[in-house]
Structure 1
Amino acid sequence: MQMKTRLYIIAAMSENRVIGINNSLPWHLPDEWAHFRKVTAGKAFIMGRKSFEAPDALHSEHRNVIITARPPAHAEPHTEYAGDIPEAIALLSGETDVFILGGASIFQQMLPLADRMYLTIVHAQVEGDAFFPAFKPDDWQLASSEFHGTDEDHAYSFSMNLYVRKQPE
């Protein structure tokens, strides 16, 4: 029997839902990146082309599936291309845990399919042009939250939250 692939959204957003500006993150939070690397180590990623090509993009050492209408002639190592989300999920059907890295439209489409959200809340209102989609808090249970204050390496405080989808009653 094949195991179901679990889909996990991982993102950081400001209090006003911003996740990016000009295809980059609007903040630099080294401890949040360390958390990201720890959580996603050895796992497969799904992301849109612009997220994959962003200057500060994080790529999986394991497998990256990029959703794009125009795949390049030559794929980078550990990288595969899919025309849409069902194709991306099918490519990764042998994986147990798959992380969704965005961007905004990918998050929007994957939200109903996700089992968990690793959602860091950056405690600030920032300017941006990409936003995390609204979601129903009633659909999710906050399983853990770790607060990180400001310091010389972190201009903003943030909370690294893990939300687990509630099972239907």
Structure 2
Amino acid sequence: MLTLIAATSTNNALGKDNQLVWHLPDDFKRFKALTSEHYIIMGRKTFESFPKPLPNRTHVIITRQSDYITPEGCIVVSSLEEAIEVCPKNEDVFIIGGGEIYKQSIDLADKVELTRVHTTVEADTFFPEINPEKWELVFEELHPKDEKHAFDFTFQTFIKSNRNS
């Protein structure tokens, strides 16, 4: 199953200057719980935004740089198609960004795990619009802001709709 996983603001903002624009510990916990022990596909800039590779995951990095040095324990490919191809079949695979990779993969995905942050922020990277004709919201859980979370946020799970099959 191919799943897109992201945290976006109400205006679909993902980040600015290759950084997230909020700090939500519960979102990080959910991301870790869902992606641990799985393949994660990302663009090079997303990978380089991490201080180090994320533990307990196989990183598949997409880059057009032919001379990109493969970080230890990672797989480097040149296209989304190649990234999907190197992942085991019949296993959960997560696409974790950035904006261009999400745009290329949303029509290929089976599921979207979204954390909707209830704020509007200035950004330079955005998540594609979720078309209600193609996606069905099957889970939603509100988390009010608190001392660790500056914003209200909602965990949402969308699956590809069967309405148009």
Specify if TM > 0.5: yes
Task: Provide the rounded CA distance (Å) in 2 between the counterparts of 1:8 and 1:57.
Answer: 23
Q: Which residue of 2 aligns with 1:70?
A: 65
Runs of 4 or more consecutive aligned structure 1 residues displaced over 6 Å after TM superposition? none
- Counterpart amino acid of residue 104 in structure 1: G
* AA matched with 1:164: I
Counterparts of 1:101-120 in structure 2, within 5 Å, are: 101-120=96-115
Quick one: percent identity of the two aligned structures? 37
Alignment of 1:130-141 (within 5 A): 130-141=125-136
Q: Measure, in 1, the Cα distance between the counterparts of 2:161 and 2:27.
A: 25
Secondary structure of the 2:122 match is coil
Residues 120 and 95 of structure 1, relative CA distance in 2, 3 Å threshold: same
Deviations 1:8-34 (A, max 9, x none): 000010001110011000000001110
Instruction: Name the structure 1 match of 2:155.
Output: 160
**Paired residues of 2:9 and 2:120 also in contact (CA < 8 A):** yes
CA distance in 1, matches of 2:50, 2:114: 21
**Which TM-score applies when normalising by structure 2?**
0.92
- Equivalent in the alignment of 2:36: 41
Matched residue SS, 2:133: helix
Unaligned runs of 5+ in 1: 1-5
Q: How does 1:1-169 map to 2 (within 5 A)?
A: 6-55=1-50, 59=54, 61-70=56-65, 74-94=69-89, 96-167=91-162, 168-169=164-165
Distance 1:142 1:57, change over 3 A: farther
Shift of the 56–17 alpha-carbon distance from structure 1 to 2, 3 Å rule, reads: farther
In structure 2, C-alpha distance between the alignment counterparts of 1:134 and 1:62, rounded to whole Å: 27
Query: What is the TM-score with the length of structure 1 in the denominator?
Result: 0.90
Deviation at 1:76, TM superposition (A): 2.3
The question of whether the paired residues in 2 share the 8 Å contact of 1:45 and 1:59 is answered with: no
Hey, what's the Cα distance between the residues in 2 that align with 1:58 and 1:16?
A: 29
Please tell me the root mean square deviation across aligned C-alpha atoms, in Å.
Answer: 1.7
